[in-house]
A and B are shown apart, each in its own frame.
Chain A
Amino acid sequence: MTLTVGVLSVQGDVYENILSLRSAIDDLGIDANAVEAKTPEEISSLDGLIIPGGESTTIGHLSLANGSMKVLKEKIANGMPILGICAGMIMLSKTASDKVVGQTDQPLLDVLDIKLERNSFGRQKQSFEADVSLDSVGISKFNGVFIRAPSVLEVGSDVDVLAKFDERIVAVKKGNVIGTSFHPELTQDVSLHKYFLSLIK
């Protein structure tokens, strides 16, 4: 059966993730399609989903507006693998606060028991590239692109820490739910997208 892997196409770098998924699918030689998904109907037919980088407030408000937030929560509760990148990880989290502004009341999916700090490394000028390791999923070295990136301040007992950078948690996993602070879709390295695809059955 052909798997359908979606990228939430509300706002952000959707196309970049589709391209990464396509080359990961080619590398693995599996029978899968990478598609954009925006409406509740499109989301409900997916086997896996990436929430891409972007602005989490925008993605949250607009996902509420067309009813996809509710479908997303149901799908994730039923075990659909999901990868949240940067803004996407913020969307998955339980609580998010901004480094400067403090607590925000933005809409969140609340499927990962993590406490998260937005813009944790500073503003755009402080954005950076650095190597990170995700040893527990078999990726020893990955070029992490951090753009106004969040970091995870606290994790719940059932959440695994996949990667840390500068003593801060930058990648987490709980079952089929993965979140990263950095942007694998802005590099040519598709190993993280490949790992995500391996979770989809």
Chain B
Amino acid sequence: MISLSGERQNARGIIADKINSFDTVRGTSTVKRGFAHMLKNGVVMDVTTVEQAQIAEEAGAVSVMVLDKLPSEVRKAGGVARPASIKIIEEIMDAITIPVMAKCRIGHVSEALVLQETDVDMIDESEVLTPADEFRHIWKWDLPTPVVNGARSLAEALRRIEEGASMIRTKGEPGTGNVAEAIKHIKKVNDELRTVKAIYDSGDNQDLVRIAREFKVSYDIVEQTGKLGRLPVVNFAAGGIATPADAAYLMSLGCDGIFVGSGIFHSDDAKDRARAIVLATTFWNESDKVKEAQKMIDERQSMLGLDVGTLELRMQDRGGSA
């Protein structure tokens, strides 16, 4: 089991007022990571308007991510990409019952605090926006609101978790409609997890120390990961997912769920495609259901994919070395 409990004393939780003579604790690791556990086997959809958020909710999304521009538009527009307008985030929070997430720039503590004050359910410290700090990410333990981070490797994922990330999404290349990078990175993380687990099982603690140094993380988190044989937090796939089959394949690779960005609302059949991607994510191991889902979409309406090799802007590289 992904150990959540037992952290109540250690977590940097906020001790709230005493109610009924019991202590109420907010912002603990259990509460923050537990939120991500509730999203499992679900789809989080990027949206820019109230209307898109309502389509997402109706289609069965577990949450929406509010952006100013979809990643593919960010790619076209160029310039500095910043978080969505607070007013739009609030309008969306008032219109739907499912959780609402929003993105802030990498390392921009004040933007994260603003989003926390806005009461979004989760903050995405995201490479889709222009990074504000080239060297450091946000120290996320101090925020009662959970934060999700992107990662392309196990080392990157564990560094983010040690900074307090409550959830990881393995990065693809956002806004391309090309799933290749997302597949590459989840496979890389899986390979590295197998290696760390094998070392842990062999009892070679010295080799775990070597891994910890190579990954630039603590020994403890490497040991914990080896013992679990998986990431210590929930892990979704993200970046370039455009079709139901894309989603089903990533679920089969062991992802806990899916983030879909431009793939839905940059296609011409958004409503059907949103529904189809949710169905394929839920029933990923039943190929007749995935086929049904795939049949709901029209390839001629899919967003035109981009070849990742020729991109001028590789969003996945942002914040990767930190």
Residues of chain A having any CB pair with chain B under 8 Å: 9-16, 19, 38, 53-55, 57-58, 61-62, 65-66, 86-87, 98, 100-101, 104, 118-119, 122-132, 143, 145-148, 165-166, 183, 186-189
Task: For the complex, give the distance between the alpha carbons of A98 and B20 in Å.
Answer: 25
Let me know if B5 and A143 touch, CB within 8 A.
Answer: yes
Contact partner of B31 among A11, A38, A61, A145, CB < 8 A?
A145
Let me know if A10 and B41 touch, CB within 8 A.
Answer: yes
Task: For the complex, give the distance between the alpha carbons of A130 and B8 in Å.
Answer: 10
B229 CB-CB contact with A under 8 Å = no
Contact partner of A11 among B20, B24, B26, B282, CB < 8 A?
B282
Task: For the complex, give the distance between the alpha carbons of A77 and B24 in Å.
Answer: 37
Contact partner of A125 among B20, B38, B62, B144, CB < 8 A?
B144
Chain B CB within 10 Å, residue with most, of A10, A11, A126: A11
Let me know if A125 and B1 touch, CB within 8 A.
Answer: no
Let me know if B34 and A147 touch, CB within 8 A.
Answer: yes
Let me know if A118 and B97 touch, CB within 8 A.
Answer: yes
Contact partner of B37 among A16, A58, A122, CB < 8 A?
A16
Task: For the complex, give the distance between the alpha carbons of A154 and B36 in Å.
Answer: 29
Let me know if B5 and A188 touch, CB within 8 A.
Answer: yes
Let me know if A128 and B31 touch, CB within 8 A.
Answer: yes
Q: Which residues of B contact A104 (CB under 8 A)?
A: 97
Contact partner of A101 among B6, B23, B94, B146, CB < 8 A?
B94
Known: A125-B119, A129-B25, A145-B31. A57 touches B57 (CB 8 A): yes
Chain A CB within 10 Å, residue with most, of B5, B34, B95, B96: B34
Q: Which residues of A contact B63 (CB under 8 A)?
A: 55
In whole Å, how far is A174's beta carbon from the nearest beta carbon of chain B? 25
Let me know if B279 and A58 touch, CB within 8 A.
Answer: no
Task: Write out, one digit per residue, whether chain B residues 1-28 have a CB within 8 A of any chain A CB (1) or not (0).
Answer: 1101110100001001001101111111
Known: A12-B38, A124-B99, A166-B19. A148 touches B121 (CB 8 A): yes
Task: For the complex, give the distance between the alpha carbons of A154 and B93 in Å.
Answer: 26
Let me know if B93 and A14 touch, CB within 8 A.
Answer: no
Task: For the complex, give the distance between the alpha carbons of A164 and B122 in Å.
Answer: 28
Selected A-B contacts with CB under 8 Å, 26 pairs: A11-B40, A11-B41, A11-B62, A13-B37, A14-B40, A38-B282, A54-B41, A55-B63, A55-B99, A61-B60, A62-B278, A87-B38, A124-B35, A125-B121, A127-B26, A128-B26, A129-B24, A129-B31, A130-B23, A146-B31, A147-B34, A147-B35, A165-B20, A186-B30, A186-B34, A187-B30
Known: A10-B282, A124-B146. A58 touches B25 (CB 8 A): no
Task: For the complex, give the distance between the alpha carbons of A41 and B173 in Å.
Answer: 39
Task: For the complex, give the distance between the alpha carbons of A101 and B122 in Å.
Answer: 19
Let me know if A14 and B25 touch, CB within 8 A.
Answer: no
Known: A15-B40, A53-B37, A124-B145. 5 other contacts (CB 8 A): A98-B97, A125-B116, A129-B8, A129-B31, A166-B20
Known: A55-B98, A58-B61, A124-B122. A187 touches B25 (CB 8 A): no
Let me know if A128 and B42 touch, CB within 8 A.
Answer: no
Q: Which residues of B contact A145 (CB under 8 A)?
A: 30-31, 34
Residue of chain A at shortest CB distance from B62? A55
In whole Å, how far is B273's beta carbon from the nearest beta carbon of chain A? 16
Q: Which residues of A contact B116 (CB under 8 A)?
A: 125
In whole Å, how far is B280's beta carbon from the nearest beta carbon of chain A? 11
Contact partner of B2 among A16, A128, A148, A166, CB < 8 A?
A16
B283 CB-CB contact with A under 8 Å = yes
Known: A11-B40, A11-B41, A11-B282. A16 touches B1 (CB 8 A): yes
Q: Kindly list the 4 A-B residue pairs having the minimum CB-CB distance in the complex, ordered from nearest.
A: A124-B121, A13-B37, A98-B97, A55-B62
Residue of chain B at shortest CB distance from A126? B26
Q: Which residues of B contact A61 (CB under 8 A)?
A: 60
Known: A58-B61, A124-B145, A145-B31. A131 touches B38 (CB 8 A): no
Residue of chain A at shortest CB distance from B234? A13
Task: For the complex, give the distance between the alpha carbons of A13 and B28 in Å.
Answer: 18
Task: Write out, one digit per residue, whether chain B residues 111-124 have a CB within 8 A of any chain A CB (1) or not (0).
Answer: 00000100111100
Known: A58-B42, A58-B61. A148 touches B26 (CB 8 A): no
Let me know if B41 and A9 touch, CB within 8 A.
Answer: yes
